[in-house]
């Protein structure tokens, strides 16, 4: 289908670097891990590290660069009779299902991120980037304009907040509750206009 040897090797190297970064930071903490350490464990030269990730924290976060585009396409591909909120909710639910399938990487990622605010910062930036792009897609679908109308930026931001909230609860509950269920609960709260609890 896609894969020559070259592409498989690249993917393997990328994953090795990400995993090495994740494990090392989990073991020692962010400041006690150098790029050289990560490159060593992944069996590549320090210089090669920077061919794969632009910075140390990026390697720890290790986000799939194609995920954002997939998210946008999934959103735009939702049935036309769904409201924007319904479509956005469906997309985040699908993401949750995929994340939950991975029983190793995401828990470790969340553990490390939770322990290191600096990494959380980079993650937040990624969410911000995602928000920008998503807002454009939402505007396209609803006929609103980013920056002029509140709707697209707000919905994108709210969707990101919903995902963050769900991930946080997933982590806090030691991954016992199914992530998609947590996502559903969160969206129920949102569409009800955030009624006070109790």
Q: How far apart are CA 107 and CA 171, in angstroms?
A: 7
User: For residues 41 and 171, which CB has a smaller minimum distance to its own copies in the complex?
Assistant: 171
Rounded to the nearest whole angstrom, what is the least distance from the CB of residue 74 to DNA in the complex? 27
Which of residues 16, 44, 146, 189 is near DNA by CB under 7 A?
A: 44
Q: How far apart are CA 179 and CA 164, in angstroms?
A: 11
Q: Does 190 bind its own copies (CB under 8 A)?
A: yes
User: What is the residue-wise DSSP string for 131-198?
Assistant: HHHHHHHHHHHHT--BTTBSHHHHHHHHHHHHHHHHHHHHHHTTT-S-HHHHHHHHHHHHHTT-PPP-
The 3-class secondary structure across 48-81, one letter per residue, is: HHHHHCCCHHHHHHCCCCCHHHHHHHHHHCCCCC
- Picked from its own copies, DNA, none, the partner binding residue 36 (CB below 5 to 8 A depending on kind) is DNA
For residue 117 the two structure tokens come to 């605010």
Q: Does 111 bind its own copies (CB under 8 A)?
A: no
User: For residues 6 and 198, which CB has a smaller minimum distance to DNA in the complex?
Assistant: 6
Question: Which residues here bind DNA, judged by CB under 7 A?
Answer: 4-7, 9-10, 13, 33-36, 44-48, 50-52, 54-57
Sites of contact with its own copies (CB under 8 A): 83-85, 117-118, 120-122, 124-125, 127-129, 142-144, 146-151, 153-155, 157-158, 160-162, 164-166, 168-169, 171-173, 182, 185-186, 189-194, 196-198
């Amino acid at each position: 289908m896609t894969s020559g040897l070259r592409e498989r090797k690249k993917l393997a190297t990328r994953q090795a670097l990400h995993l090495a970064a994740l494990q090392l930071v989990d073991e020692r903490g962010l400041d006690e891990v150098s790029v050289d350490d990560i490159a060593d464990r992944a069996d590549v030269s320090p210089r090669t590290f920077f061919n794969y990730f632009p910075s140390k924290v990026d390697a720890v976060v290790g986000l799939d660069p194609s995920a954002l585009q997939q998210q946008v396409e999934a959103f735009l591909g939702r049935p036309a009779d769904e409201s924007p909120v319904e479509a956005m909710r469906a997309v985040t639910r699908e993401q949750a299902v995929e994340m939950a399938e991975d029983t190793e990487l995401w828990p470790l990622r969340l553990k490390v991120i939770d322990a290191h605010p600096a990494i959380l910062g980079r993650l937040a930036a990624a969410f911000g980037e995602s928000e920008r792009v998503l807002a454009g897609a939402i505007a396209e679908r609803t006929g609103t304009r980013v920056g002029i109308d509140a709707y697209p930026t707000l919905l994108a931001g709210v969707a990101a907040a919903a995902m963050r909230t769900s991930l946080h609860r997933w982590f806090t509950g030691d991954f016992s509750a199914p992530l998609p269920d947590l996502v559903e609960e969160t969206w129920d709260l949102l569409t009800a206009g955030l009624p006070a609890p109790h």
